[in-house]
Amino acid sequence: MLDFPGAKAAFTSRMEFISPNAAEAVPCFRILDDLGRALDGSDIPEIDSSLAVKMYHTMVRLQTFDSIFYEAQRQGRISFYLTNIGEEALNVASAAALTKDDVVFPQYREHGVLMWRGFTLDEFANQCFSNEDGHGKGRQMPIHYGSEKLNYFTISSPIATQLPHAVGAAYGLKMDRKNACAVTYFGDGGSSEGDFHAACNFAAVLEAPVLFVCRNNGYAISTPACEQYKGKHAIQLLAGRGYGMTSIRVDGNDALAVFKAVSAARKLAVEQSKPVLIEAMTYRVGHHSTSDDSTKYRSGEEIAHWRSVRDPVLRFRRWLESNAWWSVEDEKELRGAARKEVISAMNQAEKKNKPPLSELFTDVYDTLPRNLLEQEATLRDTVSKNPPSLAPH
């Protein structure tokens, strides 16, 4: 054995370069087949009917909210929106496997995680319409949700910055000996960022209890995964064996597999204070956002296929039905109720006032500094002396 500080390894007298395509692709864990039937030899996780039905309710509510608010943007009622279509199972099942003390660091396509934790439809709608009741005080673009109470860090736009943040937070949880971990989500595109590499490396070195959940949905705006990285293992082997982390690849459209994998990963992270990577394979059915038209770079047939035949919500529903936990009547009732609730939340949020001028200068610093007090006074003076076009509402 040679024992350089950099590595302990056996020596060899044969010079052999390692091909990047040497090994087989990392296999993908699933429990249900595409039609929602448990595969032979599967070990179904312990989920009772009430948990399963609650998960399904949340997926449907998320799907309904996405479709109505996407349309609202098209109609000019809000300026921007971004959907989770195709990733409902991944969102909700992963959230259901966590506890409320686990701290979530999202990218931006994880509204289902927040919805599972209890963010109400009104709260979602208020933020999108940036009205005076919005938690963000009118400071952020739509879908940039956050909740201190629900341990869900406020969404910030730059890609992958949340990854090192999550590691730092996990380290803090470890120092405080909390029975909790940090959980951070990112897309296949985000794995190209420098922050991803720094975060993975540091999580392993610091032995931080953090789950890295990669939503590998195939696209980063128009860039397909095959152009984002080379090598069939990339995210897996890199973050996993490359940086020294335990890892798994899972079918992100299989709610049961996601639930089981995240539950096990969480246990490992919290009990052994280790980072774990979960690469969840899925498909981004919707456009990147309302600023994108994905038909420009992928075929309508491809989108339609994943939207219908490979819909993760339908797949989970079939499993519920096979257990006699769900019926056609239940479906009709839920879809109708969800639609009504979302539309009501939207209409209420739209009618509310915009945030007042008093919130323009707060929260820049802990206490309002003198220059901002002066600016506010000058602004109020200007507003009072000038036509209503400058009035805050």
Partner 1 sequence: MFPGIVRSSSRHLPCRRSLMTVRDALNSAIDEEMAADPKVFVMGEEVGEYQGAYKVTKGLLQKYGPDRVLDTPITEAGFTGIGVGAAFQGLKPIVEFMTFNFAMQAIDHIINSAAKTYYMSGGQIAVPIVFRGPNGAAAGVGAQHSQCFAAWYGSCPGLKVVTPYSAEDARGLLKAAIRDPDPVVFLENELLYGENFPVSSQVRDPNFTLPIGKAKVEREGTDVTITAFSKMVGFALKAADELAKDGIKAEVINLRSIRPLDRETINASVRKTYRLVAVEEGWPQHGVCAEVCASVQEETFDYLDAPIERISGADIPMPYAANLERLALPQIEDIVRAAKRACYRSK
CA distances from 131 to 80, 138, 265, 341, 371 (A): 15, 6, 39, 19, 27
- Return the number of the residue (32 or 159) whose C-beta is nearest partner 1: 159
CB of residue 248 to partner 1, shortest distance in Å: 24
* Helix, strand, coil distribution of the chain in percent, nearest 5: 45, 10, 45
Contact between 368 and partner 1 per CB under 8 A: no
Q: What's the maximum distance between 2 C-alpha atoms anywhere in the chain?
A: 86
Q: Catalytic: 288?
A: yes
- Return the number of the residue (156 or 322) whose C-beta is nearest partner 1: 156
Cα separation, 283 vs 84, in Å, equals 10
- Return the number of the residue (12 or 367) whose C-beta is nearest partner 1: 367
The only residue of 154, 223, 246, 322 in contact with partner 1, by rule CB under 8 A: 223
Active site residue: 49, 71, 271, 305, which one? 71
The pair of structure tokens assigned to 123 is: 């709260």
Contact between 275 and partner 1 per CB under 8 A: no
Q: Catalytic: 71?
A: yes
Cα separation, 334 vs 379, in Å, equals 49
Cα separation, 281 vs 300, in Å, equals 21
Contact between 386 and partner 1 per CB under 8 A: yes
Which range of residues in 169-177, 205-213, 263-271, 367-375 is near partner 1 by CB under 8 A? 367-375
Write the binding mask 73 to 102 for partner 1: x where contact by CB under 8 A, - elsewhere: ------xx----------------------
Which range of residues in 88-96, 150-158, 210-218, 269-277 is near partner 1 by CB under 8 A? 150-158
Name the amino acid, one letter, at 8.
K
Question: What is the footprint of partner 1 within residues 177-206 (CB under 8 A)?
Answer: 189-190, 192-194
Which range of residues in 10-18, 26-34, 215-223, 266-274 is near partner 1 by CB under 8 A? 215-223
- Within 10 angstroms of residue 379's Cβ, the number of other Cβ atoms is 15
CB of residue 384 to partner 1, shortest distance in Å: 13
Contact between 373 and partner 1 per CB under 8 A: no
Helix or strand (DSSP H, E) at 297:
none
| CA quadruple 120, 122, 125, 129: dihedral, nearest 10 | -140
Identify which of 98, 112, 85, 24 has the alpha carbon closest to the alpha carbon of residue 311. 85
Cα separation, 372 vs 352, in Å, equals 27
* Residues carrying an active site annotation: 71, 157, 288-289
User: Would you tell me which residues interact with partner 1 (CB under 8 A)?
Assistant: 79-80, 130-131, 136-141, 144, 156-160, 189-190, 192-194, 220-223, 227-229, 296-297, 354-355, 357, 359-361, 364, 371-372, 375, 379, 386, 390, 392-393
